Structure 1
Amino acid sequence: MKILLTNFHRDRGGGHDTYILAIAQALSLQHRIFVAAPATSRLFMQAGALPCVTTIVIDFSAKFKDLAKLPGEYRALPGLLERERFDVIHVNGSPDHWLVKLVMLAWKGARPRIVLTNHDSIRIKTARATRATYDVIAVSDSTAQLMRESVYGRCPVTVIKNGIDTVGRYAPRDPQAAAQQRGAFLGPRAGDRLVIGTVTGFDWYKGTMGMIEAVAALPESLRDEVVVVVAGVEPNAEQRQQIEALGMSGRVHVAGFVEDVPSVIASFDIGFVLSYAIETVSFACREMMAMGKPVIVSRYAGLPENIDDGVDGWIVEPRDTAGLSSLLQTIIAGRDRLPAIGARARERAVHEFSDERFIADTEEVYRQGGAARGA
């Protein structure tokens, strides 16, 4: 099959990037894979480095200030589709989906099968043209429910939860190597402290400030036992001021964007993903669990689908600082139990978060579409 994967982000696309790159790399051995994205995007640069993957520059203009570019994109896309005759177009966001749908309204030739993956938990409130959408992939059970209740409910909705490499990239590190990595990463700040970390950054909806507030609410003797590590989007000026006002400046390590995410996760004792908007099932949660780290998640969207509460991690209510702080006291008091809980998190990841299953199920959706198109 000839498959086009699209995304609109102009810099880092977070989980969108991880998702598309995983599919492109795995399926490029058997199919002709193209990735269309803005030239400034991380996705475009990393997809371009994959052997047997062809990259195409399309900005997928959506913001008002960029609408002047839309006519040119609208004219260019039909030429690309006519030239390449894709069997499947897999769209991963509203801007790229809209452009494909606009082109399909006037399309005269054989139609490619258009597959939409919904990567967020935003309820679809307005009617959208679905004529150019054949299949929907939902990355969590909760997302599937949203899609079935929307205008896309007329399409087949398949739940395919995000898969990760549990064998190589996201496997537990040797304890000695992990300790060395922790020391190199955090220096004297680590000591014997409980390292609570996330790789989701400080985006407003990720709930990272909630963890910092919960640690700040601990009794001073316990607060001194904890360091919070955050990789990803750095805090804005207001968040930095809040960290300082909470007296947490010396207890928060901001790693920023890092390419070697597993080495950062290796320094954690436990992980957290406390989103209260937009989130679906979270690559970050699954990556941390695969590396043997128990994870605290909020009871939001698909996050609880990753965790058996109290067995391989913990579930807290969104934005419940007092409840989270109380849980942290319990975790600190039972710190000797963390290795066993982490082992169960790893076991769950191996059994349920397989990238092989993720890729095979996605390819099956493509094959159904390709077979239908050929017929």
Structure 2
Amino acid sequence: MHTEASEGWGGQEIRILTESRGLMARGHRLHLLCSPQSRIYSEAQAAGVPVTAMPLSKKKWPGLKAMRDWLTLNQPDVIITHSSTDSWLTAAARVTLGRDIPVIRLRHISAPVTDNFGTRWLYLRASRAVVTTGEMIRQQMIDLNRYPGERIHSIPTGVDLDRFTPGDRDAARAEIGLDPAHQIIGIVASLRSWKGHETLLEAFAGLREHFPVARVVIVGDGLARISVEAAIDRLQLHEWVTLAGDQRDVVPWLRAMDVFVLPSYANEGVPQALRQAMGCGVCAVGSAMGGIPETIEDGVSGLLFAPKNHVALGAALADLLENPDKRARLAEAGLARARERFGMEPMLDRMEALIRQVM
């Protein structure tokens, strides 16, 4: 059983569904509990993942009662929680019902875990194991929170490499309406402040005159759209930036890009979109924070730059736009790295083994 209190949509929610479908294909029974207002509720239904809606978005009595009622009627072998609120509601329901169901707490982001008695109890007593999406997050919890390393398991999110594969760039651009003559710098990410869209726009503003056929394509939507639009206004980039919004199928958008950029400066685990881009054979550039350096080997399978440093990002982009051979070499190495390390099967193997272990 998975629980998710978040009503947003991004890598965390996508992992829940891809992992669920992968384990269902191996013969396991899965069930998701989430908020009726969340996008994952409708996406789970479309993906064929059994789902029940309940008020999990707040730590209040209706959510606790709904969780208690569901656990009274159902007998999950293991519960995997994903956000703070659903983790606390699950723990409270188990304690008040006296049900010793093993719990795995999955930590997706790199923001430090609060260091207090309650959170320590939640992670180490109410949960039998903790999973992080990257080794950096695991080590941070060991170093900062003093959690025992044997309780924490780094299991990065896998990418469906049968879907995210290289394709014809011009055909992809024709499909989505992008000019084949342009050099496309792209990003696929929720519009959140810490994803660093404004850093990308600042970097591009310094390049615009030197690369007249370069363009920026931003795929995704979210609460930071207003600030992104304001940055486009301030930098006078309307003619050079495409805001594509949410796209159900991002594969043609990735294949259309010459360079993929992820300029996050906080909270980033191991980003799926970056690995998807590499699986599509696109040259990748990322900030050196969170789990991004676990994905890109700087100068080998992509380029890294200091977070929030638009000058450094601009220099990296200029280098790649001026040197198509280097861009192709990094893209080829990134594709090889994706095929070797980023597929679905390693994630499913390790999650399956851990589930059996905690049971």
Shorter-chain TM-score bucket reads over 0.9
Encode CA deviations 1:104-128: one digit per residue, 9 max, x unaligned: 332324x111001101111123321
Instruction: Out of 344-353 and 35-44, give the one that drifted further.
Output: 35-44
Counterparts in 2 of 1:283-298, with a 5 A limit?
Answer: 283-298=272-287
Aligned twin of 1:247: 236
- SS at the partner of 2:109? coil
* Aligned counterpart in structure 1 of residue 10 of structure 2, from 10, 14, 23: 14
Could you list the runs of 5+ residues in structure 1 that have no partner in the other structure? Answer: 371-375
Report the Cα offset of residue 220 of structure 1: 1.0
Residue aligning to 1:41: 38
| Per-residue deviation, 1:137 | 0.6
Question: What is aligned with 2:153?
Answer: 158
Q: Does 1:262 align with 2:262?
A: no
1:157 counterpart letter in structure 2: I
Q: What displacement does 1:13 show?
A: 2.4
Give the counterpart of 1:118 among 107, 123, 147: 107
Q: Any gaps of 5 or more consecutive residues in structure 2?
A: none
Quote the offset at 1:183 in angstroms.
2.9
Amino acid of the structure 2 residue aligned with 1:102 = A
What one-letter code is carried by the residue in structure 2 that aligns with 1:74? L
- Asked if 1 retains the 8 angstrom alpha-carbon contact of 2:175 and 2:252, the reply is no
Seen in structure 2, the aligned counterparts of structure 1 residues 248 and 356 have a Cα distance that, compared at 3 Å, is same
- Mapped to 2, the partners of 1:76 and 1:201 lie a distance apart of 30
| Pair 1:31-2:31 in alignment | no
Is 1:183 aligned to residue 177 of structure 2? Answer: no
CA contact (8 A) 1:117 1:136 kept: yes
Q: C-alpha displacement at 1:201, in angstroms?
A: 3.8
Which shows bigger deviation, 225-234 or 259-268? 225-234
Give 1:317 shift. 0.2
Q: How does 1:54-65 map to 2 (within 5 A)?
A: 54-62=50-58
Read off the aligned partner of 1:161 and give its amino acid letter.
P
**Residue 231, structure 1, aligned to residue 228, structure 2:** no
User: After the TM superposition, which residues 122-141 of structure 1 pair with which residues of structure 2 at under 5 Å, given as runs?
Assistant: 122-127=111-116, 128=119, 129-130=121-122, 131-141=125-135
Aligned partners of 2:249, 2:267: CA distance in 1, in Å?
A: 25
AA of the residue aligned to 2:33: A
Give the total of aligned pairs: 351
Equivalent in the alignment of 1:373: none
Question: Which of residues 79, 102, 111 is equivalent to 1:89?
Answer: 79
- Alpha-carbon deviations, 1:314-361, whole Å to 9, x = none? 000001111111222211221233223211111100001010111111
Contact persistence 2:187–2:260 (CA under 8 A): yes
- Cα contact 1:232–1:258 (8 A) shared by 2: yes
Aligned equivalents of 2:331 and 2:325: distance in 1? Answer: 11
What is the deviation of 1:77? 1.5
Q: Which deviations, in whole Å up to 9, do the C-alpha atoms of 1:229-254 show, x marking residues without a partner?
A: 11011653343232122121111111
Letter of the structure 2 residue corresponding to residue 348 of structure 1: R
CA distances 1:139-185 after superposition (whole Å, capped 9, x unpaired) = 1111001222326547611110110111x210111x2xx31221342
Structure 1 residue 304: Cα displacement: 0.8
Partner SS for 1:17: helix
The answer (yes or no) to whether the contact 2:55–2:62 under 8 Å persists in 1 is no
Separation (CA, whole Å) in 1 of partners of 2:149 and 2:228: 43
User: What secondary structure, in the 3-state scheme, does the structure 2 residue paired with 1:143 have?
Assistant: helix
Counterpart pick for 2:94 among 104, 127, 134: 104
Contact 2:103 2:127 in 1 (8 A): yes
Amino acid across the alignment from 2:243:
V
Q: What percentage of aligned pairs have identical amino acids?
A: 25
Equivalence for 2:317: 328
